[in-house]
């Protein structure tokens, strides 16, 4: 009976270690301050702006693609009005990107096609409005570039250091869990003797 308690204690300890290690890793790039769809009375916030799964800011992208803008609350009720306030410009001129709602109520998709090489700016206008009526309050700008014809672009940009760290934490957590299980099995075998 005492050996069974030791085994159970070991398994529970391994699970606690696994959860302690994995929870921060599973939080991704979040800082723990939220990301829900409520938002209360605080201003609307942009959570992330990505292209091909990587941060858009400062990136070099292909001439055609999609940008995903994630907000900290629902945007669906004002989708049409918001689409008119999101633009991609080159040297101050609008390049005519298409803006639509994503599958998630807090996600907007900006599609662009046939951009020439050079520097661009994505502007999310200050009047972009969440379902609860709150706005950004100030323009949100992200600068990026498009590779010149024949130049290289980052079709699939490399992972950020934070994402790489999260992957390492997940591997470490999995190894701890396996070690805990092996230790538990060894304890069970010794208890049978």
pLDDT at residue 166 tops 60: no
Task: Please check whether residue 90 is in contact with residue 49, taking contact to mean a CB–CB distance below 8 angstroms.
Answer: no
Task: Please check whether residue 160 is in contact with residue 54, taking contact to mean a CB–CB distance below 8 angstroms.
Answer: yes
The DSSP code sequence of 61-90 is: E-SSEEEEEEESS--GGGHHHHHTTEEEEE
Q: DSSP secondary-structure letter at 135?
A: B
Rounded CA separation 59/163 (Å)? 16
The reported pLDDT for the residue numbered 152 is 47
Query: Which CATH number, 3.40.630.30, 2.160.10.10, 2.60.40.1220, 3.40.50.2300, labels domain 46-146?
Result: 2.60.40.1220
Tens of pLDDT along 21-39?
A: 545 444 444 433 344 445 5
- Rounded to an integer, the average pLDDT of 69-96 is 92
Of the given ranges (97-111, 121-135, 165-179), which has the lowest mean pLDDT? 165-179
Question: What confidence category does residue 106 fall into, taking pLDDT thresholds of 50, 70 and 90?
Answer: confident
Tens of pLDDT along 110-153?
A: 999 999 999 999 999 999 999 999 999 999 999 999 987 755 44
């Amino acid at each position: 009976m005492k050996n069974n308690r030791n085994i159970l204690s070991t398994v529970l300890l391994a699970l606690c270690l696994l959860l302690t290690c994995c929870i921060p890793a599973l939080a991704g790039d979040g800082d723990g301050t939220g990301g829900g769809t409520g938002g209360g009375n605080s201003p609307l916030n942009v959570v992330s702006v990505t292209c091909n799964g990587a941060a858009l800011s400062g990136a070099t992208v292909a001439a055609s693609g999609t940008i995903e803008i994630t907000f900290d609350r629902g945007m669906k009720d004002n989708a049409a009005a918001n689409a008119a306030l999101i633009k991609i410009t080159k040297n101050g001129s609008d390049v005519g990107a298409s803006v639509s709602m994503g599958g998630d109520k807090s996600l907007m998709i900006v599609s662009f096609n046939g951009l020439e090489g050079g520097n661009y700016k994505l502007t999310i206008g200050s009047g972009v409005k969440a379902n609860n009526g709150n706005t950004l309050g100030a323009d949100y700008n992200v600068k990026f570039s498009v590779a010149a014809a024949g130049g290289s672009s980052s079709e699939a940009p490399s992972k950020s250091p934070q994402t790489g760290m999260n992957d390492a934490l997940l591997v470490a957590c999995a190894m701890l869990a396996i070690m805990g299980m092996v230790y538990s099995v060894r304890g069970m075998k010794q208890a049978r003797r």
